[in-house]
């Protein structure tokens, strides 16, 4: 399958295998994904209106400059193609939140939402903002896969030969299962970075572990995943732990419907806790005793409730549900799984559609829903409310139609 949004109907994925192969430099439109049948089509591969890599650094620097010292921006890594990976830090509290976006390069609402959150925290003085600044430390990584983002595709860009150069002990092994020769019609190899994580934060790649399987931990083979891991480890060393990790994505298809209060309407946002296999990851509990799936659900619930409270339960922005999560679903190599196993409450955001599907109005609406969701979590951390919720209440949120297709 060449086309792989976070969730793809298998039957549609195979249809998309015939997507037009184009050169990366030409950046021509790729064939529209049939899964996006009701969406705006991919008319503009230059993704006008979304923040580009070149714009991101200056935007972050401007926010920091105008923040009266509240926001610090740091370069925390460098991609294979030499682009910077940024982390912006704000707040002085001892409750720690790490939020990243665009690990899948073409999933962009989270970047805009994080910029909005940073602008608010940089300049607002209302009591709720001040409380967040006092109680929480937020580290935002708004674009962790700029090489993929600039190609408007999911994977980063790195050849297996380059991986071997960086990790010579892997000479002669088969490539990791999540390394791809091409992605979205672009003939440049790279990783699905959100499979490159391991709960063992000091893990060094070993040839006998490769190529691995979907259910297994990943190998930290890419500079981007290493940078994210290092930020997490540094926070843990500084504060003793990271309370929350949020990973901002798009679900690909944009015609999924939800149930519950908004039965039959299009879902705006689906949330999830780590997919660690049967019985809430029971098989991991001995080795990773800090794993707390209920805590991840409490944080997810704070986000869902916050969005509903903010917009009203019938708002199209508040069509919030649970992401695809059958009991057996297992992805130990995802960042949220690796950090969840280390005791961090981990929440996945899956926004409807793909970035290039949207006109300005829909783009604004979905970006707002992500921003409000993350802000709701920060607020619930600052007040302590997140600790008082019942994680089981997250299950009262509707799924978004898991029977509408299988997952890949
Ligand atoms: Zn994704």
Distance between Cα 9 and ligand 1 center (Å): 15
Distance between Cα 384 and ligand 1 center (Å): 29
Distance between Cα 182 and ligand 1 center (Å): 17
Distance between Cα 251 and ligand 1 center (Å): 6
Q: What is the pLDDT of residue 256?
A: 74
Q: What is the pLDDT of residue 352?
A: 86
More confident residue, 362 or 302: 302
Contacts of 15 (CB under 8 A, 6+ apart): 34
Residue 162 above 80 pLDDT?
yes
How far apart (Å, rounded) are the C-alpha atoms in residues 243 and 97? Answer: 6
Tokens of 195: 């499979």
pLDDT band (50, 70, 90) for residue 15: very low
Distance between Cα 313 and ligand 1 center (Å): 26
How far apart (Å, rounded) are the C-alpha atoms in residues 110 and 350? Answer: 10
Contacts of 217 (CB under 8 A, 6+ apart): 197, 198, 199, 200, 203, 332, 333, 338
Distance between Cα 203 and ligand 1 center (Å): 24
How far apart (Å, rounded) are the C-alpha atoms in residues 32 and 403? Answer: 23
Kindly calculate the radius of gyration of the chain based on its CA atoms and give it in whole angstroms: 20
More confident residue, 333 or 22: 333
Tokens of 151: 């190609």
What is the arithmetic mean of pLDDT over 33-50? 50
Written out in words, the top-level CATH class of the domain with range 53-150+222-404 is alpha beta
- Give the angle subtended at the CA of 396 by the CAs of 289 and 303, to the nearest 5°: 70
Q: What is the pLDDT of residue 254?
A: 67
pLDDT (tens digit, 9 = 90+) per residue, 57-115? Answer: 999 999 999 999 999 999 999 999 999 999 999 999 999 999 999 999 999 999 999 99
User: Which own/partner pairs from 49-54 qualify as long-range (CB within 8 Å, at least 24 positions apart)?
Assistant: 49/360, 49/363, 50/108, 50/111, 50/112, 50/355, 50/363, 51/108, 51/111, 51/112, 51/115, 51/142, 51/143, 52/149, 52/150, 53/83, 53/143, 53/146, 53/149, 53/150
Distance between Cα 42 and ligand 1 center (Å): 18
How far apart (Å, rounded) are the C-alpha atoms in residues 189 and 154? Answer: 11
Which residue, among 170, 395, 352, 361, has the nearest Cα to 265 in the 3D structure? 352
How far apart (Å, rounded) are the C-alpha atoms in residues 277 and 349? Answer: 19
Pairing, β 84-90 against β 71-78:
antiparallel
User: What count of other Cβ atoms lies within 10 Å of the Cβ of residue 78?
Assistant: 13
Distance between Cα 127 and ligand 1 center (Å): 34
Q: What is the pLDDT of residue 193?
A: 98
pLDDT band (50, 70, 90) for residue 226: very high
Distance between Cα 146 and ligand 1 center (Å): 14
Distance between Cα 348 and ligand 1 center (Å): 9
Residue 274 above 70 pLDDT?
yes
Distance between Cα 197 and ligand 1 center (Å): 14
Q: What is the residue extent of each domain of the chain?
A: 53-150+222-404
pLDDT (tens digit, 9 = 90+) per residue, 26-35? Answer: 333 333 333 3
pLDDT band (50, 70, 90) for residue 253: low
Which residue, among 248, 251, 247, has the nearest Cα to 353 in the 3D structure? 251
pLDDT (tens digit, 9 = 90+) per residue, 277-309? Answer: 999 999 999 999 999 999 999 999 999 999 999
Q: What is the pLDDT of residue 146?
A: 98
CB 180 within 8 A of CB 192: yes
Residue 22 above 60 pLDDT?
no
Average pLDDT of the chain to the nearest whole number: 87
Distance between Cα 236 and ligand 1 center (Å): 25
């Amino acid at each position: 399958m060449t086309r792989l949004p976070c969730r793809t109907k298998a039957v549609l994925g195979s249809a998309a295998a015939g997507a037009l192969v184009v050169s990366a430099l030409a950046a021509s439109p790729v064939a529209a994904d049939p899964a996006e049948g009701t969406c705006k089509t991919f008319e503009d591969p230059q993704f006008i209106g979304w923040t580009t890599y070149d714009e991101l650094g200056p935007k972050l620097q401007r926010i920091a400059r105008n923040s009266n010292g509240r926001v610090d921006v740091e370069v925390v890594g460098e991609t294979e193609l030499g682009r910077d990976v940024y982390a912006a830090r704000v707040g002085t509290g001892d409750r720690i939140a790490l939020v990243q976006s665009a690990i899948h390069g073409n999933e962009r609402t989270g970047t805009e939402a994080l910029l909005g959150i940073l602008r608010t925290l940089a300049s607002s003085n209302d009591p709720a903002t001040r409380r967040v600044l006092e109680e929480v430390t937020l580290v935002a990584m708004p674009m962790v896969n700029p090489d993929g983002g600039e190609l408007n595709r999911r994977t980063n860009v790195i050849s297996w030969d380059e991986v071997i150069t960086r990790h010579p002990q892997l000479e002669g092994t088969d490539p990791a299962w999540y390394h791809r020769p091409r992605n979205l019609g672009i003939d440049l190899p790279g990783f699905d970075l959100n499979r490159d994580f391991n709960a063992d934060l000091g893990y060094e790649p070993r040839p006998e572990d490769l190529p691995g399987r979907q259910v297994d931990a990943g190998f930290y083979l890419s500079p981007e995943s290493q940078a994210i891991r290092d930020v997490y480890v540094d926070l843990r060393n500084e504060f003793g732990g990271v309370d929350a990790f949020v990973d901002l994505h798009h679900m690909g298809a944009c015609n999924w419907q939800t149930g519950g209060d908004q039965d039959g309407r299009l879902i705006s946002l689906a949330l999830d806790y780590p997919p660690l296999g049967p019985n809430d990851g029971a098989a991991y509990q001995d080795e990773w005793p800090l794993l707390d799936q209920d805590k991840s659900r409490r944080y997810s619930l704070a986000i869902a409730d916050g969005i509903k409270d903010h917009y009203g339960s019938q708002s199209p922005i508040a069509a919030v549900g649970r992401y695809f999560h059958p009991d057996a679903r297992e992805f130990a190599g995802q960042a949220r799984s690796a950090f969840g196993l280390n005791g961090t409450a981990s929440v996945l955001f899956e926004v409807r559609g793909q970035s290039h599907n949207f006109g300005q109005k829909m783009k604004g609406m979905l970006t707002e829903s992500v921003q409000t969701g993350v802000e709701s979590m920060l607020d619930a951390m600052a007040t302590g409310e997140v600790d008082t919720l019942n994680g089981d209440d997250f299950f009262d949120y509707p799924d978004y139609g898991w029977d509408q297709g299988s997952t890949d």
